[in-house]
Structure 1
Amino acid sequence: MSRTSPHRASQQHASEPAELSRRGLLRTAGGLTAALALAGSSAALAGTTAGAAPAAFTHPGMLHNAGDINRAKVRVAAGTDPWLSGWKKLTANSHSQSTWTPNPQATIIRGGTGENYGILYNDIAAAYQNALRWAVGGTAANGDTAVRILNAWSSKLTTLTGNADRFLAAGIYGWTFCQAAELMRGHAGFDLAAFQKMMVNVFYPLNNSFLTHHNGACITNYWANWDLCNMASVMAIGILTDNAAKYDQAVTYFKSGAGNGSIAHAVPFLYTDSGGYGLGQWQESGRDQGHTVMGMGQMGAICEMAWNQGDDLYSYDGRRFMKGAQYVAKYNLGQDVPYTTYKWGTGQNCAQMSQTVISAGSRGALRPVWAMLHYHYNRRLHLDDKYISAMYGRVAPEGGGGDFGSTSGGFDQLGFGTLMYAK
């Protein structure tokens, strides 16, 4: 079936500007000034399409850049909200304590007999949260703990296995683990080379295998999040290891990949509501809202990492992702949205399935995915993000892993967006 709405052309606002490549600005001698001008002026949005990987990667340059870290540091020290409220959410979390003891495993299993992947996602949350406390608060003990967690795992983990869910483990825990390592880059005692080796040898092969072969299944068999987490991991590993080919692999898949995580497949149908807001039906909307909201966090992470390397995927294809996020937010706020029957092929033989109505399962569930999107579209680009903004208001100040339940769904996003993205 066609993955685009038959009415797509008429449903987009004619006045929407093209997506912008920031790299040219960031590479110039006046790159900082130009980047600040870009962040503060919607008039700067006319530009060319993003290209290949940067000539030199920016570090830190994944979910957080140096400006994000400095802003949070200054605002927290001054006791200014909402940063201070976000900081208090972080310091109250049990995972952010410098007393955390890592529990590294040689083998992580997700799916099937002997599952133990909860050990990994808890340690990743602890590594990230301690890294944030060190980066923002400057506390040496937290920095030492983050390093201790990262080194413990890179010296022991050799295998990710299980049933098909092993690909979820490689994707979700691949990109999230890289975030802590990027923050600790250059810290005394951190064995960056060993951590890079682990990511390349243990995580990337599964990421690449899934995006290339989809576990031998029909290309549409797996939901968008399966692609998205593996794309995010490939991008994060590319940045962490300064590998342009891996970074480009993720960007290319985002734009034109055959699976459900590429942008046109993840947001297959476009609409405009009565208020004039562009909406985009999310691929998992007929499944349940928990996984749909998860998609906001996974695709948001890809867009934020790319942004910090000079590529504007947030605005790619007429800001298609923003329309998807507005749609998901509006429905989870309790409002009605349009829905087009979604059809896809399953299994190895592409047996046809369809969903005729949007799912109310987990509707309204709160997860820490909205700050990143709100502060990008509303504060960087000065756009009216009515529904995204309202959803962010419900969860703010954002917490992170450990604040949204003990199961894996509560750890799929690292969180703390209020602290790190408020502008």
Structure 2
Amino acid sequence: MRTGTIGRGLGLAAALAALLTGISMTPASAGRAGPDAAPAAAGAAAPASFTHPGVLVSRPQLDFVRAKVQAGAQPWKSAYDQMMASKYASLGRTAKPRAVVECGSYSNPNNGCTDEREDAIAAYTLSLAWYITQDSRYAAKAVEIMDAWSAVIRDHTNSNAPLQTGWAGSSWPRAAEIIKYTYGDWPDSGRFATMLRDVYLPEVINGSNSNGNWELSMTEAAIGISVFLEDRASYDKAVTKFRGRVPAYIYVTEDGALPKTAPGSGLDTREKIINYWQGQSTFMNGLSQETCRDLTHTGYGISAISHIAETSRIQGQDLYPEIAERLRHALGLHATYQVGNPVPPNLCGGSLKDSLGPVTEVGFNALRNRMGIAMTNTATLTERQRPAGSNNLFVAWETLTHADNPN
């Protein structure tokens, strides 16, 4: 569902969100805690035919980036130089695949967790390097890394397995889409598809009732994998998860006295909801379920939301209008304090931990540049952080790919 003039105001975005996600627009009923309700059905989300490459970045976006880099234009040239100087762009990289990746809480134990995530980021980095330079050595190295993992991996285990699978599973299809559809010399692409279908998708497709960044990262992986596999049923299921989770992750005042709850969460009392929101009992526009935990995990959630919406837009059904009100408030609230404004006492006791990380470019470009929403503090933070690098988990080079990208 595309909309061409959302920039004229956010009332339409909010109304669409209410219609398509089951958000009540009446404060009297919105704040009641009670049994979880599934979002209103909105029909099939998957396109009749998938666009390739089409996970986070499209061919028109890649062409825009290549032209800017070739012209030496900023900030794209400095972002490109940063990427090419990173370990992820090295043509000497040797993949480190494992049959079983074991990841405990905070990756302890870490048996292949870092190796898998970083090899997936490297494959994506090398695919971007291939497209921009048209030097086939980069594409061949990306293929080598993806083939090494698809020949070996069989499972993810221990407590962080769902999140680990979501992180790595978000990066793999970005790389695979670019290589398969712009390079093409990949004899074992079918084996890679089987890996995504059998090892990754079952781990992420059913979501999680842990902290919201888990389910959002898992959903991002599920949607990207579904695009590469052209799996319409899984794509639809992932979008349904997204529509249920975003209102439960970012609060807006129209929700009423309490935040929304995700379907199946079991958060059916005020006490349970406040506890889930890290003990925060004062709710304000843009507050996330993890704001009072720390901004780093909040950044993971915001990033995944932006990535999912970006992929949906490429695929022809733009989810941005449904979540624009929440996303712009979330970016704005957290940017306000990250750029140096004092934190009020009623927000996390007057103190926020850590930082969002390099995660604002995609959402900022969509909301400010495409939809015409003024975002002063987000602009300040985004420009201050340029060129945005990688968080070494699932975010990489978004100044390069999305800064002021009109496509």
Task: State the TM-score, normalized to the length of structure 1.
Answer: 0.74
Query: Residues 78 and 94 of structure 1: is their aligned pair in 2 closer, same or farther, counting only changes over 3 Å?
Result: same
Tell me, in whole angstroms, the C-alpha distance in 2 between the residues paired with 1:393 and 1:190.
41
Please point out which of 399, 402, 405 is paired with 1:418: 399
Residue 134 (structure 2) pairs with residue 138 (structure 1): yes
Percent of residue pairs bearing the same amino acid type: 26
Q: Following TM superposition, by how much is the alpha carbon of 1:51 offset from its aligned partner in structure 2, in angstroms? A: 5.5
Query: Which has the higher mean CA deviation after the structures are superposed, 312-321 or 55-64?
Result: 312-321
Flag the structure with more relative contact order, 1 or 2, with Cα contacts below 8 A and sequence separation at least 6: 2
Matches within 5 A, 1:323-362: 323-336=329-342, 357=349, 359-362=351-354
Kindly indicate whether the alpha-carbon contact (under 8 Å) linking 1:95 and 1:126 is maintained by their aligned counterparts in 2: yes
Please point out which of 293, 313, 316 is paired with 1:310: 316
Instruction: Identify the residue that residue 18 of structure 1 maps to in structure 2.
Output: 12
| Partner amino acid, structure 2, of 1:303 | A
Q: How many residues align?
A: 337
Instruction: Identify the residue that residue 121 of structure 2 maps to in structure 1.
Output: 125
Matches within 5 A, 1:78-97: 78-97=71-90
Residue 290 (structure 2) pairs with residue 284 (structure 1): yes
Structure 1 segments of 4+ aligned residues over 4 angstroms from their partners: 336-341
1:319-370 CA-partner distances (Å, limit 9, x unpaired): 22221121121122232466878xxxxxxxxxxxxxx6365221xx362211
Query: Residues 414 and 317 of structure 1: is their aligned pair in 2 closer, same or farther, counting only changes over 3 Å?
Result: closer
Kindly indicate whether the alpha-carbon contact (under 8 Å) linking 2:362 and 2:402 is maintained by their aligned counterparts in 1: yes
Residue 209 (structure 2) pairs with residue 206 (structure 1): no
Tell me, in whole angstroms, the C-alpha distance in 2 between the residues paired with 1:242 and 1:338.
47
Residue 221 (structure 2) pairs with residue 233 (structure 1): yes
Q: Following TM superposition, by how much is the alpha carbon of 1:208 offset from its aligned partner in structure 2, in angstroms? A: 2.7
Instruction: Identify the residue that residue 294 of structure 1 maps to in structure 2.
Output: 300
Q: Following TM superposition, by how much is the alpha carbon of 1:313 offset from its aligned partner in structure 2, in angstroms? A: 2.0
Q: Following TM superposition, by how much is the alpha carbon of 1:181 offset from its aligned partner in structure 2, in angstroms? A: 0.9
Instruction: Identify the residue that residue 377 of structure 1 maps to in structure 2.
Output: 367
Instruction: Identify the residue that residue 253 of structure 1 maps to in structure 2.
Output: 241
Unmatched 5+ stretches in structure 2:
1-6, 15-41, 255-283
Tell me, in whole angstroms, the C-alpha distance in 2 between the residues paired with 1:418 and 1:323.
21
Instruction: Identify the residue that residue 98 of structure 1 maps to in structure 2.
Output: 91
Residue 164 (structure 2) pairs with residue 169 (structure 1): yes
| Partner amino acid, structure 2, of 1:333 | V
Tell me, in whole angstroms, the C-alpha distance in 1 between the residues paired with 2:368 and 2:76.
17
Residue aligned with 1:330, SS: helix
| Partner amino acid, structure 2, of 1:361 | K
| Partner amino acid, structure 2, of 1:335 | N
Q: Following TM superposition, by how much is the alpha carbon of 1:280 offset from its aligned partner in structure 2, in angstroms? A: 1.3
Tell me, in whole angstroms, the C-alpha distance in 2 between the residues paired with 1:114 and 1:293.
22
Kindly indicate whether the alpha-carbon contact (under 8 Å) linking 2:295 and 2:352 is maintained by their aligned counterparts in 1: yes
1:298-322 CA-partner distances (Å, limit 9, x unpaired): 2111111111112222221552222
Kindly indicate whether the alpha-carbon contact (under 8 Å) linking 2:251 and 2:285 is maintained by their aligned counterparts in 1: no
Instruction: Identify the residue that residue 158 of structure 1 maps to in structure 2.
Output: 154
Query: Residues 358 and 250 of structure 1: is their aligned pair in 2 closer, same or farther, counting only changes over 3 Å?
Result: farther
Tell me, in whole angstroms, the C-alpha distance in 1 between the residues paired with 2:389 and 2:187.
26
Q: Following TM superposition, by how much is the alpha carbon of 1:116 offset from its aligned partner in structure 2, in angstroms? A: 2.4
1:148-170 CA-partner distances (Å, limit 9, x unpaired): 0011111111111112x111111
Unmatched 5+ stretches in structure 1:
1-12, 21-48, 272-277, 342-355, 401-409
Query: Residues 136 and 118 of structure 1: is their aligned pair in 2 closer, same or farther, counting only changes over 3 Å?
Result: same
